[in-house]
Amino acid sequence: MGLTAGHPVEDAVTPAPLVLGSNDFGSVTDRVCEINEWKTPRAWYVAFGIALTLLGVLLAMVSYLVLAGLGVWGLNMPIAWGFAIVNFVFWVGIAHAGTLISAILFLFRQHWRTSINRWAEAMTVFAVCCAGLFPGIHVGRMWLAYWLFPIPNQMKMWPNFRSPLLWDVFAVGTYATVSVMFWYVGMLPDLSSLRDRAKTKMRKILYGVFSLGWRGSARHWHVYERAYLILAALATPLVLSVHSVVSFDFATSVIPGWHTTIFPPYFVAGAIFSGFGMVLTLIVPSRTMFKLEDFVTKRHLENMCKIILATGSMVGYAYLVEFFIAWYSGNMYERYTFINRAMGPYWWAYWIMVTCNVITPQLFWFKKVRTNLVGMWILSIFVNIGMWFERFVIVVTSLHRDYLPGSWDYYSPTWVDMMTLVGSFGLFFTLFLLFIRFIPIIAASEVKGVLPQAKPHGGHE
Amino acid sequence: MSAPAWGIVAVFETPAEILRAAEAVRDAGYRRFDVHTPFPVHHMDRAMGLRDTRLPWVILGMAVLGCATAVGLQGWAMGKGYPFILSGKPLFSLPAFVPIIFELTVLFAAFGAVFGMLAFNRLPALYHPLFKNRPFSRVARDGFFIVIESSDEKFKAEDVRKLFESLGAKEIEDVHD
């Protein structure tokens, strides 16, 4: 891939520019809005067709589950949390990178986030949709899934607020709501761009309504910027809390391998790791397809690779500490669980996890790999695979060998489990492709703010 | 057009120009004026003489309300509505309530931030006189606009036009409601 201008990659003294090429305020808007205005490319239809087919598979699998019951899954008595919980934790984890990019990097004034935050936030919202599906269908009688919520009812019963499973309902529900609001508020100015450029009546009405009449008033910007800053400050502890609460589902139980205090930080690091993996997986091909090299520069991609390297190493460190504590605790069940993880019936899952999460991301130490599009894309796929297997290892290996050998068993997924997982990618990509088609995928108004000509005093504060 | 104009709008090309224009309009004593830009321009709040928004207080209020709701909901449901001893914990087991207290505090505060922002800005407002102004369609792209409304006490069409001309506005137009 050739680069258009300037220093493509940050060196030690002068940071690379955040926007390459000879872009001004107008051309940023044009480039971003054109993606939504061009005739739909054929590749989009092909991809959308595949995604819709997979979504159909998901609907078929869920319908089959509703009609036939949970027996169509591979669950058995010690392993009552199979693919549903693995997939749930996997998708919630992916969601985390979006909020990290949009909120935490915003608070730390990492201006390179501006070109990638919209995609990442979209990914967050869609991944939470996928995640939310699984606990809902896992409850068995899913028509009673509303029992999860504290709704006054004729039985005068209330859910148990002391249970981590209910904390999860609130944590994921709050996370989904706040993510959607953060995403929507951030895109108001760009929707108004599309409104002002709309040619057809349909577009005028839809973008007109959804941009809420935004007109770039400085009085509005003043309140808007304050609201956005505070939303970022609220979302920052939220992103750390959501996966901590997810990890409480495991950590507050007394199953060996789950009952550990390292779980919340370890889960959060893993979530950010997997989320950045998914962001790279999506952004590398889209960037080339829509010719967005000026906005998503190699500096952006390299920074994401560095975050993957850092969080991947944290995850690897957590694996080591788990083993050390299992040995150091002197608890035979704990020791056995970890030896069994690495060398028991599920050794293959454990070593896929270690290879993909700990070993392959170390290649990002090399600048050649961090700046190679194909290389980073392949490594990002490894991250996705590795993090799915991490959740599989945590859920299944701990459950299949607990205290009494009499209750030991082996879990294997059925074809329904497999196709439901595949189908959840259909849901994710259907939503993502619709997003690419109809919503500005780059926060144009924010990118304008980081252009050099945006500073009224020529860079002096 | 014989009807009196709703206001007069001037177009500028750069953030520096619009900032200077806003300062000049503020110093000339106009109060019912507004600036429209494609992105938030630094120091515009001071240039326009805007008062700091009270939005953070609304958000704080909502956060406290969310916190109180969570304590009340959990305390009542577990202590009165459906009193059951679970895992040997007291009926009002505050430490176990902390995660949901946190989540509802954040949720309510976020609602306060978003809907408070919309309310302070009087959005959604699908109609505005400026939307009928042709050059104004550039506002989200690359146009920097300043408008003085005719309802301003000091508003005199000739004075306003003269002020905008002296600031180097590229286009000056009447806006009709």
* 8-state DSSP, A419: H
Residues 8-37 of B with CB under 8 A from A: 14-16, 18-19, 22, 34-37
Task: Return the pLDDT at A12.
Answer: 53
Residues B61 and B115 in one domain: yes
Residues B90 and B129 in one domain: no
**Beta carbons of B86 and A190 less than 8 Å apart:** no
CATH number for the domain harbouring residue B166: 3.30.70
Say whether B15 sits in a helix, a strand or coil: helix
Average pLDDT over residues A128-147: 90
Task: Return the pLDDT at A11.
Answer: 53
User: How many domains does chain B contain in total?
Assistant: 2
The shortest CB-CB distance from B82 to any of A29, A158, A193 is to A158
| B113 falls within a domain | yes
pLDDT > 90 in chain A, percent: 71
Residues B153 and B106 in one domain: no
Average pLDDT over residues A170-180: 94
pLDDT grade for A336, boundaries at 50, 70 and 90 = very high
Choose one of B104, B120, B136: the last residue of a domain.
Answer: B120
DSSP letters of A157-197? ----TTSHHHHHHHHHHHHHHHHHHHHHHHHHHHHHHHHHH
Residue A430 structure tokens: 């259907």
pLDDT grade for A5, boundaries at 50, 70 and 90 = very low
Q: Hey, is the C-beta of A42 within 8 angstroms of any chain B C-beta?
A: no
Task: Return the pLDDT at B2.
Answer: 55
Top-tier CATH class for A25-453: mainly alpha
Name the residue ranges covered by the structural domains of chain A.
Answer: 25-453
Which tens digits make up the pLDDT trace of A49-86?
999 999 999 999 999 999 999 999 999 989 999 999 99
Which tens digits make up the pLDDT trace of A370-383?
999 999 999 999 99
The residue of B100, B126, B128, B149 whose CB has the most chain A CBs within 10 angstroms, and thus the best one to mutate to test that interface, is B100
Residues B12 and B95 in one domain: no
Domain range for residue B105?
Answer: 55-120
Residues B60 and B112 in one domain: yes
Q: Hey, is the C-beta of A252 within 8 angstroms of any chain B C-beta?
A: no
Mean of pLDDT over chain A: 90
**Beta carbons of B114 and A185 less than 8 Å apart:** yes
Q: Please, are residues A334 and A256 in contact by the beta-carbon 8 Å criterion?
A: yes
Residues B85 and B62 in one domain: yes
Q: Hey, is the C-beta of B148 within 8 angstroms of any chain A C-beta?
A: no
Residues B44 and B80 in one domain: no
Residues B61 and B116 in one domain: yes
Average pLDDT over residues A319-327: 94
Residues B115 and B91 in one domain: yes
Average pLDDT over residues A180-200: 93
Which tens digits make up the pLDDT trace of A159-169?
999 999 999 99
**Beta carbons of B142 and A235 less than 8 Å apart:** no
| B103 falls within a domain | yes
Average pLDDT over residues A432-437: 94
Task: Return the pLDDT at A14.
Answer: 64
Residues 110-139 of B with CB under 8 A from A: 110-111, 113-114, 116-118, 120-121, 123-128, 130-131, 136-139
Name chain A contacts of B73, Cβ cutoff 8 Å.
Answer: 150, 161
Residue B54 structure tokens: 């009270």
Task: Return the pLDDT at A91.
Answer: 95
Name chain A contacts of B78, Cβ cutoff 8 Å.
Answer: 158, 160-162
Nearest Cα residue in chain B from A227: B113
Name chain A contacts of B14, Cβ cutoff 8 Å.
Answer: 453, 456
Closest CA to A373 of A433, A273, A275, A283: A283
Residues B69 and B108 in one domain: yes
Contacts of residue A126, Cβ cutoff 8 Å, sequence gap at least 6 = A427, A428, A431, A432, A435
Q: Alpha helices, DSSP H only, in B35-171? A: 44-48, 55-76, 94-120, 157-166
Rounded Cα gap, residues A12 and A420, in angstroms: 47
pLDDT of A15 over the 50 cut: yes
Residues of chain B short of pLDDT 70, as ranges, are: 1-3
| B150 falls within a domain | yes
Residues B33 and B75 in one domain: no
ipTM: 0.94
Residues 111-170 of A with CB under 8 A from B: 150, 156-164, 166-167, 170
In the β-sheet with B33-36, what is the strand arrangement from edge to edge? B33-36, B144-149, B7-12, B171-175
CA atoms within 13 A on the CB side of A377: 11
Choose one of B75, B95, B120: the last residue of a domain.
Answer: B120
Residues B37 and B78 in one domain: no
| B1 falls within a domain | no
Which tens digits make up the pLDDT trace of A396-417?
999 999 888 888 999 999 999 9
How far is C-alpha A119 from the chain's CA centre? 10
B112 to chain A, closest Cα gap in Å: 9
| B149 falls within a domain | yes
Which tens digits make up the pLDDT trace of B96-123?
999 999 999 999 999 999 999 999 999 9
Task: Return the pLDDT at B89.
Answer: 87
Q: Please, are residues A435 and A126 in contact by the beta-carbon 8 Å criterion?
A: yes
Q: What are the angstrom distances between the C-alpha of A246 and each of A89, A92, B54, B70?
A: 7, 9, 35, 19
